[in-house]
Structure 1
Amino acid sequence: MHVQLAGALAPVLADVTATGAPVPRVVDDGWSADPGTATAMLSSGDGRHGAGVSVPLGRPRPEQVSHVAGMVQDWVVDELRGTTATNWPPCPHHPTTHPLEVVVRDGAARWSCPRDGTPVAVVGTLR
Structure 2
Amino acid sequence: MRPETAAVLGPVLRDWDSSGIGYRVQEDWAPSPYDPPCGPRSAAAVAVVWTADGCGTGVLTGAPGEPVTAQMVLAAADALHDAVVEGRLLGTTTWPPCPLHPGTHPLTPRLHEPDREQSRHPGRDLHPHPGPDRVRHPDPDVVWACARTGQAVCRVGELGSVPAERAPG
TM bucket normalised to smaller: 0.7 to 0.9
Report the CA distance between 1:60 and its aligned residue: 5.2
Report the CA distance between 1:56 and its aligned residue: 5.2
Structure 2 counterpart SS, 1:84: coil
Output the aligned Cα RMSD. 2.2
Structure 2 counterpart SS, 1:43: strand
Identity %: 35
Structure 2 counterpart SS, 1:115: coil
Contact 1:13 1:23 in 2 (8 A): no
Which residue is equivalent to 1:124?
157
Q: 1:124, 1:104 → 2: CA distance? A: 13
In the alignment of these two chains, the number of paired residues is 123
Given the alignment of the two structures, is residue 111 of structure 1 paired with residue 113 of structure 2, yes or no?
A: no
Normalised by the size of structure 2, how large is the TM-score? Answer: 0.63
Q: Quick one: structure 1 residues 97 and 26, their matched pair in 2 at CA, closer, same or farther if it must change by over 3 Å?
A: same
Q: Which amino acid aligns with 1:33?
A: P
Residue from 88, 98, 103 that aligns with 2:105:
98
Residue from 38, 61, 67 that aligns with 2:75:
67
Which residue is equivalent to 2:87?
79
* Structure 1 gap ranges (5+): none
Determine which structure has more spread, i.e. the larger CA radius of gyration.
2
Report the CA distance between 1:6 and its aligned residue: 2.0
Contact 1:18 1:126 in 2 (8 A): yes
Normalised by the size of structure 1, how large is the TM-score? Answer: 0.81
Q: 1:36, 1:93 → 2: CA distance? A: 42
Which residue is equivalent to 2:60?
54
Ranges of 4+ aligned residues in structure 1 off by more than 3 Å: 55-60
Q: Higher relative CO (CA 8 A, sep ≥ 6), structure 1 or 2? A: 1
* Structure 2 gap ranges (5+): 33-41, 115-139, 161-169
